[in-house]
Amino acid sequence: MLSLIFFSICLIIAYLGISLFIKMQRLKELANRVAALTNSLEEMDEQAKLIMRTDMELNKAQEELSKKIAGLNTLQELSREMNATLEEKQIFQKINTKHLEDLGFEKALAFLWKNPEKEFQLCLSIGYSQTESTKIRSTINTDRNFYLDLISHDQTASSIFIPEGFISKNKICELFLVRAFIICPVLTQEGDQGFIFTGTQDSQVSITEGDSELIALLGNQIGQTLDNARLFEKTWKSQQALEIKVEERTRQLTQAINELMKISKHKSDFISSVSHELRTPLTSIKGYAAILLTGKLGAMPDEIKERLEKINRHSDELVHMVNDLLDISRIESGKANMKAETLELAPVVDKIADLLAEQFKDKNISFKSAIPDDCRKVLADRSQLERVFINLAGNAIKFTPEKGAISISARRLDNKTIQIDVSDTGFGIPKDAQESIFEEFFRVDNIINQEVKGTGLGLALVKNIIQAHKGKIWVKSSLGEGATFSFTLAAGE
Partner 1 sequence: MNIGMGFSESGDQIQAVNDAITQAIVGLGNLQASMAFIFTTTEFANPLVLKTANNLLEGTPILGCSSLGLITNQGIFKHGIAVLLINLDQQVFFNTALIKNINENNPLDNGKELGEKLLYGCKNVHRSLSIIFLDGLTAQTAGIINGLQEKLGRSFPLIGASASDNLTFQKTYQYFNNEVSSQSCCGVLFGGKFHFGIGIKHGWNPLGKMRYVTKSSGNIIQEVDHQPAVKLYEDYLAKDTLELFKELQRISIFYPLGVYLEGENEYLLRNITSIKDDGSLVTQGEVPENSKIRLMISTKDSCLAAATAACQEAKRNLGLQKTKFLMVFDSASRFSLLDKQRAKELAIIKEAFGENIPLIGIYTYGEQAPLNSINYLGQSYFHNQSISVLAVGDQ
Residue 132 or 227: which CB sits closer to partner 1? 132
CA distance 279 to 317: 12
Stretch that binds partner 1, among 10-18, 60-68, 349-357, 463-471 (CB under 8 A): 60-68
Task: State the minimum distance, in angstroms, from the CB of residue 53 to partner 1.
Answer: 6
Summary count for the chain: helices (H), strands (E): 13, 12
Task: State the minimum distance, in angstroms, from the CB of residue 170 to partner 1.
Answer: 16
Q: Which residues contact 217 (CB under 8 A, 6 or more apart)?
A: 75
Residue 126 or 136: which CB sits closer to partner 1? 126
The answer to whether 169 contacts partner 1 (rule: CB under 8 A) is: no
Q: At what angle do helices 209-294 and 2-83 cross, to 10 degrees?
A: 20
DSSP state string for 61-80: HHHHHHHHHHHHHHHHHHHH
405-412 vs 366-370, strand pairing mode: parallel
Residue 277 burial (10 A CB sphere; 0-12, 13-18, 19+): exposed
Q: What share of the chain is helix, strand, coil (3-state, %, to 5)?
A: 60, 15, 25
The answer to whether 203 contacts partner 1 (rule: CB under 8 A) is: yes
Of residues 85, 121, 155, 201, which one binds partner 1 by CB under 8 A? 201
Residue 11 or 35: which CB sits closer to partner 1? 35
The answer to whether 417 contacts partner 1 (rule: CB under 8 A) is: no
Q: At what angle do helices 302-333 and 458-468 cross, to 10 degrees?
A: 30
CA distance 363 to 405: 10
Q: Which residues contact 445 (CB under 8 A, 6 or more apart)?
A: none
The answer to whether 55 contacts partner 1 (rule: CB under 8 A) is: yes
Of residues 41, 246, 263, 370, which one binds partner 1 by CB under 8 A? 41
Of residues 35, 44, 257, 413, which one binds partner 1 by CB under 8 A? 44
Give the x-and-dash track for 103-122 against partner 1 (CB under 8 A): ---x----------------
The answer to whether 142 contacts partner 1 (rule: CB under 8 A) is: no
Judge whether 413 and 491 are in contact, CB under 8 Å: no
The phi, psi pair for 32, rounded to 5°, reads -65, -40
Of 79-98, binders to partner 1 (CB under 8 A) are 97
The answer to whether 34 contacts partner 1 (rule: CB under 8 A) is: no
The answer to whether 77 contacts partner 1 (rule: CB under 8 A) is: no
Q: Identify the DSSP state of 436.
A: G
CA distance 375 to 412: 6
Task: State the minimum distance, in angstroms, from the CB of residue 103 to partner 1.
Answer: 13
Residue 16 or 37: which CB sits closer to partner 1? 37
Of residues 135, 137, 169, 179, which one binds partner 1 by CB under 8 A? 179
The answer to whether 30 contacts partner 1 (rule: CB under 8 A) is: no
The answer to whether 344 contacts partner 1 (rule: CB under 8 A) is: no
List contacts with partner 1 (CB under 8 A): 41-42, 44-45, 48-49, 51-53, 55-56, 59-60, 63, 66, 70, 97, 101, 106, 179, 201-204
